[in-house]
């Protein structure tokens, strides 16, 4: 039996329509976001999920609590599963970044993989933070089903990595609020992605 991972994105956030880079800012989910989490909980209710993991940011912990509660579990909060930190750019839109940090904005657009915003992480930093933790969690649940309620950027890093895609291709993977991905990890090292952004 493979280890089956239900990899989900948190619900709609309060400033979701403004396309702001929230990063480590603790933005809550909206009423619609709560409903999206309840729908995910309904989808998983009949599955033998043995553990629910989330980051320690409220948009993740709130959804994790809703899903875990429906399954009769306690969510496990893992700080290292937070969204990418964009440092001084947190809470800004791309337009605001371009206006306030024009030189850094151009450098970022020229090197999306390795550029670090002031005080923030580059994509390689996020990969190197997320993937060892993800692999540790998967390895600790052999043959079980587990749920991870995380963030758009984090999920894209995981999906690109398990699919063997160059990390820059993560921008081609959509992750809607309340979206569900299903990944199966087999003992022989084979990984099969069964669903993306469902």
Cα atoms found within 13 Å of the Cα of residue 72, Cβ hemisphere only: 6
Residue that has been written with the tokens 């991905």 in this structure: 181
104 tagged catalytic: no
Q: What is the pLDDT of residue 182?
A: 98
Asked if the model's pLDDT at residue 137 lies above 90, the reply is yes
C-alpha span between 184 and 103 (Å, rounded): 42
Q: The pTM is what?
A: 0.96
11: which DSSP letter?
P
Helix then strand then coil, % of the chain, to nearest 5: 45, 15, 40
The residues pairing with 4 across neighbouring beta strands, listed in sequence order, are: 145, 184
Contact at 8 Å (CB) between 129 and 121?
yes
Q: Looking at 12, 83, 90, 121, which residue is catalytic?
A: 83
12 tagged catalytic: no
For each of the domains in the chain, give its residue range(s) and CATH number, in order of start.
3-87+122-195 (3.40.50.1240)
Encode pLDDT of 78-93 as tens digits: 999 999 999 999 999 9
């Amino acid at each position: 039996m493979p280890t089956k991972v239900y990899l989900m994105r948190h619900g709609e956030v309060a400033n979701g329509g403004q396309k702001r880079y929230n990063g480590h800012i603790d933005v809550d989910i909206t009423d619609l976001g709560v409903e999206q989490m309840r729908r995910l909980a309904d989808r998983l209710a009949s599955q033998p999920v043995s553990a629910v993991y989330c980051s320690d940011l409220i948009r993740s912990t709130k959804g994790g609590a809703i899903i875990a509660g429906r399954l009769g579990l306690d969510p496990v909060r893992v700080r290292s599963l937070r969204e990418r930190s964009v440092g001084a750019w947190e809470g800004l839109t791309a337009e605001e970044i371009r206006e306030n940090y024009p030189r850094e904005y151009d450098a970022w657009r020229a090197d999306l993989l390795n550029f670090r915003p002031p005080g923030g992480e580059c994509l390689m930093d996020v990969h190197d933070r997320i993937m060892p933790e993800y692999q540790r969690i998967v390895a600790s649940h052999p043959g079980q089903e587990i749920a991870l309620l995380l963030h758009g950027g984090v999920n894209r890093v995981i999906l690109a990595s398990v699919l063997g895609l160059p990390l820059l291709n993560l921008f081609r993977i959509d992750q809607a609020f309340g979206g569900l991905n299903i990944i199966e990890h087999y003992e022989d090292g084979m990984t099969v992605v069964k669903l993306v952004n469902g």
